[in-house]
Amino acid sequence: MPTFTFHKPIEDVEEPVALAEDWYRARIVKAPTIEPNKKKQEDPSQEGAGDNLIVSLALVGGEAAGRRFKLYLPWPSMEDEDLYDGIGMKVSDAKMERIADFTVKFGGVSDGTDVMLEEGMEGFVYVTRGLDQSGQRMINSVDPFAGFKSVEDLETGEEVFE
């Protein structure tokens, strides 16, 4: 049986360090896509089945540089037109509003029924801390409900987050 050797003992592997909850500058690192969510993949007829706009982000600047996140923004569907959220807004409109906000804050274009995003665009996202799905490890996530900020909203000419 072949033997492969690490450069250090497995016992010395360090746990990841979660970032502090705060605003961080992020760059789109891959062209966004629209894909079915897990529920739609499992059974398209179940409640909550739908599509997500998936945006791959990497944080830029300071100690957070290079950290990667996937942002899943629910894509509106025709079924959402007849549903209302807890504040009385159409679910489809709330989803459209969040996507349009992200698009504009990251320098994209939101025009009529179209949103245009591309790799390399930058803006700020709010990063939170929480436990992973197993409840074992502290991880970071981007909070889509905190909204988004443009570079102009937060840029001061200095490193904002270090």
Helices (H) and strands (E) in the chain, counts: 3, 8
- How many residues would you count in the chain? 162
Query: How far apart are alpha carbons 22 and 157 in whole angstroms?
Result: 18
Smallest CA-to-CA distance from 120 within 33, 34, 26 is with 26
Determine the pLDDT at residue 57: 98
pTM attached to this predicted model? 0.84
Determine the pLDDT at residue 133: 87
Determine the pLDDT at residue 158: 44
Residues sharing a CB contact under 8 Å with residue 54, sequence separation 6 or more, in sequence order: 32, 33, 34, 35, 70, 71, 72, 73
Q: What are the tokens at 69?
A: 């996140």
Q: pLDDT under 50 in the chain at which residues?
A: 157-162
Q: What are the tokens at 41?
A: 């993949």
pLDDT digits (tens, 9 = 90+) for 13-30: 988 899 999 999 999 999
Q: Is 29 helix (H, G, I), strand (E, B) or coil?
A: strand
Determine the pLDDT at residue 77: 92
Determine the pLDDT at residue 155: 66
Determine the pLDDT at residue 92: 94
